Amino acid sequence: MTGLSSEITSQADCILVVDDLADNSFLLQTVLESEGYKVEVAASGQAALDKIAEHPPELVLLDVMMPQMDGFEVTRQIRQNPLIPFIPILLVTGYSGLMPAEGFDAGADGFVRKPIDFEHLLHQIKAILQPKHLIDPCV
């Protein structure tokens, strides 16, 4: 795959991973890049909003529990900004008391619990991104 990896990466979907814990971001980045995705990382809600405004990704993996601005607030701000195209958002949390309805009410497209089942996560990502490619195969 070494000969093809640069071709795949150049046309790969960009995923923004947002988590205040560097170890969590690094793990997600490693797994996603090994699957051929281009990955950007943000360590806070505000950094995520700045990156999204500069270059909107195809998908955001967003930690719910972060200081200053939690994942729900980041999701609401993305959804309320008319300049940002619709970006799918998967909320990620280790907090078991959180109900998925809270995330959907904020505007999220899905929910992933920690510890992350990477096979399930990759299936969700493919399900979200695949329809985009069916509609616009030039992406």
Question: What's the pLDDT at 103?
Answer: 82
pLDDT tens column, 57-98: 999 999 999 999 999 999 999 999 998 868 999 999 887 766
Tell me the two tokens of residue 127.
Answer: 């399900």
Question: What's the pLDDT at 24?
Answer: 95
| Out of 9-13, 38-42, 107-111, least confident range | 9-13
CB 48 within 8 A of CB 74: yes
Chain-centroid distance of CA 44 in Å reads 13
Place 21 in a pLDDT band, splitting at 50, 70 and 90. Answer: very high
- Structural domains of the chain in order of their starting residue, each with its CATH number: 2-135 (3.40.50.2300)
What is the mean pLDDT of the segment spanning 11-36?
A: 94
Question: What's the pLDDT at 130?
Answer: 84
Question: What's the pLDDT at 99?
Answer: 66
What is the mean pLDDT of the segment spanning 104-129?
A: 92
What is the mean pLDDT of the segment spanning 33-51?
A: 97
Question: What's the pLDDT at 132?
Answer: 58
Following DSSP, what letter does each residue of 15-72 receive, concatenated? EEEE-SSHHHHHHHHHHHHHTT-EEEEESSHHHHHHHHHHS--SEEEEES--SSS-HH
Half-sphere exposure in the Cβ direction for 66 (13 Å, CA): 28
State the chain's mean pLDDT as an integer. 85
Question: What's the pLDDT at 34?
Answer: 97
